[in-house]
Amino acid sequence: MKVVIIGAGIVGSTSAKALSKVHDVLIVEKDPAKAEEAKALLNVSVLNDDGSSPKVIEAAINRISADIILSAIPDDSHNLFICLMAKRIKPTIKTVACLRSPEFIIETSSEGADGVDILISPELITAEKIEKLATLENAVTYDHVSSMNIDLATFKIEDGQNLVGKVILDMDMPPDCNVIAVYRGENTILDNETVEIHAGDRIRVLGSPESMVLFNKLIGVEKEAKEFVILGASAVGLEVARRLMQSNKRRAVKIIENDAALSRDAARELEDVAVVKGDFIDLSVLRSENVQRADVLITVSSTDERNLLACMAGLRFGVRKIISKYSNVEYEEIFRYTGIESIIGYHRVIYNEVTKNLIYDENAILAIERDNELFFSTTIDKRSELVGNHLGDINIPEGIRVAAIKRGKEMIYPRINTVFEEGDKVLLFTHMVNPIKLSRLFGHNTPLEL
């Protein structure tokens, strides 16, 4: 397929990186420096021009006979306008708008409105992930696959918690979930039914949203998270605060923001949230606002350096749980080096959303935080050797875990006596898997990342 991407910022370039693996991509970028950088680093064609101009939009669509246009410039209203213009120029084109502010979320064509087919809001997705991590006390990573209404989370096991010393097979787990991996030091254990859980393990679990809450409680919650401090009144920060206060539980949420205008806007929008104007990388400000008492510290400013410094301050104050977002790929390792486990990469959010919506369609696919890991689905046809066999009787290649099976509207979390049927959509979690062995067992509909 042919894809036009308007804008070569973080959203546009990350989208281009994902899409150019299977599609022909043309980037339209107004800034000459960004256009040259995209041309040098990405396998795409580049047009240095103003992508918000109707004439330029038409020229770009006609230049490659585009099937898809993705608008990813910083102005939400321009992104919507570009999609509307693209539909006028070529009614059959698929339009994708990347939006930052919740105020610009509109109905898509699938909901009966013309103009925009798909909306991608990295800010809203990031806020959802942060809110879930903040309220699941033992979780350190979280993802949601909306098309299947399932969650994928990693839980941290600490000394003295309920699961230490228990074998996974003997755990009283919720029925609608499955342990798909145990991380122990540098080792990843997928065949884990007989594994005894140790303090320090990280357990990755797939299941319904309700099961994640139950699994979190199964581990043991010493103190329920009730006090939240958010550093930065960005769009993500406001949305996280909004989501936290929507609960029927009693919670205290505070936002600290240095910018006077952003502070005023936050105070006006969020009546039940305490908003403080102050520089959150100043230790005296954090100390005066009793950040050390927070159950969860969340750093979501627009600057990675400030988020990193704020995280380090949180570690110094002994805050039990710290969550941060980052935008630049280079900062991922720096955050991990400091010991911050719950970090959300803006580029990963974009990459996953673009891939799910524009490459694999109904097949869920996630690039997991750890390298060489993927979560995706593939459908079993009648020729597969899996059909009619029990899971326990099949020789699953090393590096593959059958996480779940979607059969019609039912989601099955398989055990060794589960029988595969033709048409099953099998959800797989893979770690450093041999792609040839994977294709041999499950067919050729596997991600190109492998």
CA 355 to CA 364: how far, in whole Å?
9
Give domain status of residue 202, yes or no. yes
362 has pLDDT over 60: no
Indicate if the alpha-carbon torsion angle 209, 213, 214, 220 is positive or negative.
Answer: positive
Residue type at 264? R
Higher local confidence (pLDDT), 214 or 335: 214
Q: What SS3 state is found at 269?
A: helix
For 98, the domain range is 2-120
Q: Kindly list the distances between the CA atom of residue 252 and the CA atoms of 66, 244, 259, 325, 395, in Å, as whole numbers in the listed order.
A: 49, 9, 22, 21, 51
Give domain status of residue 177, yes or no. yes
Q: Where does the pLDDT of residue 358 fall: very low under 50, low under 70, confident under 90, or very high at 90 and above? A: confident
Q: Where does the pLDDT of residue 371 fall: very low under 50, low under 70, confident under 90, or very high at 90 and above? A: low
Last residue of a domain, one of 76, 94, 120: 120
Last residue of a domain, one of 219, 242, 259: 219
Give domain status of residue 126, yes or no. no
Q: In this predicted structure, what is the pLDDT of residue 450?
A: 46
Q: 313 and 245, same structural domain?
A: yes
Q: 322 and 412, same structural domain?
A: no
Radius of gyration of the chain (CA): 23
Q: Where does the pLDDT of residue 445 fall: very low under 50, low under 70, confident under 90, or very high at 90 and above? A: low
Q: 163 and 79, same structural domain?
A: no
Q: Where does the pLDDT of residue 368 fall: very low under 50, low under 70, confident under 90, or very high at 90 and above? A: low
Q: 144 and 202, same structural domain?
A: yes
pTM for the model = 0.87
Average pLDDT in the 360-365 region?
54
Note the pLDDT tens digit of each residue in 56-74: 999 999 999 999 999 999 9
Give domain status of residue 282, yes or no. yes
Q: In this predicted structure, what is the pLDDT of residue 115?
A: 80
CATH number of the CATH domain containing 116? 3.40.50.720
Higher local confidence (pLDDT), 377 or 102: 377
Note the pLDDT tens digit of each residue in 99-126: 888 777 777 776 656 788 988 898 999 9
CA 238 to CA 44: how far, in whole Å?
35
Q: 326 and 239, same structural domain?
A: yes
CA 379 to CA 193: how far, in whole Å?
25
Of the chain, the percentage scoring pLDDT greater than 90 comes to: 65
Q: Which residues pair with 429 in a beta bridge?
A: 375, 401
Q: In this predicted structure, what is the pLDDT of residue 111?
A: 61
Note the pLDDT tens digit of each residue in 159-207: 999 999 999 999 999 999 999 999 999 899 998 989 999 999 999 999 9
Mean pLDDT (the chain) is: 89
Give domain status of residue 358, yes or no. no
Q: In this predicted structure, what is the pLDDT of residue 6?
A: 97
Nearest to 142 by CA among 328, 404, 323, 334: 323
Q: 404 and 300, same structural domain?
A: no
Q: Which residues pair with 231 in a beta bridge?
A: 256, 299
Identity of the highest mean pLDDT range in 238-242, 362-366, 369-373, 434-438: 238-242
Last residue of a domain, one of 93, 120, 147: 120
Note the pLDDT tens digit of each residue in 310-336: 999 999 999 999 999 998 888 888 988
Note the pLDDT tens digit of each residue in 269-318: 999 999 999 999 999 999 999 999 999 999 999 899 999 999 999 999 99
Residues contacting residue 9 through CB under 8 Å, at least 6 positions apart: 34, 72, 73, 74
Q: Kindly list the distances between the CA atom of residue 292 and the CA atoms of 25, 221, 277, 297, in Å, as whole numbers in the listed order.
A: 48, 19, 18, 9
Q: Kindly list the distances between the CA atom of residue 187 and the CA atoms of 182, 335, 399, in Å, as whole numbers in the listed order.
A: 8, 21, 12
Higher local confidence (pLDDT), 375 or 66: 66
Q: 231 and 328, same structural domain?
A: yes
386 has pLDDT over 50: yes
Q: What is the number of structural domains in the chain?
A: 4
378 has pLDDT over 90: no
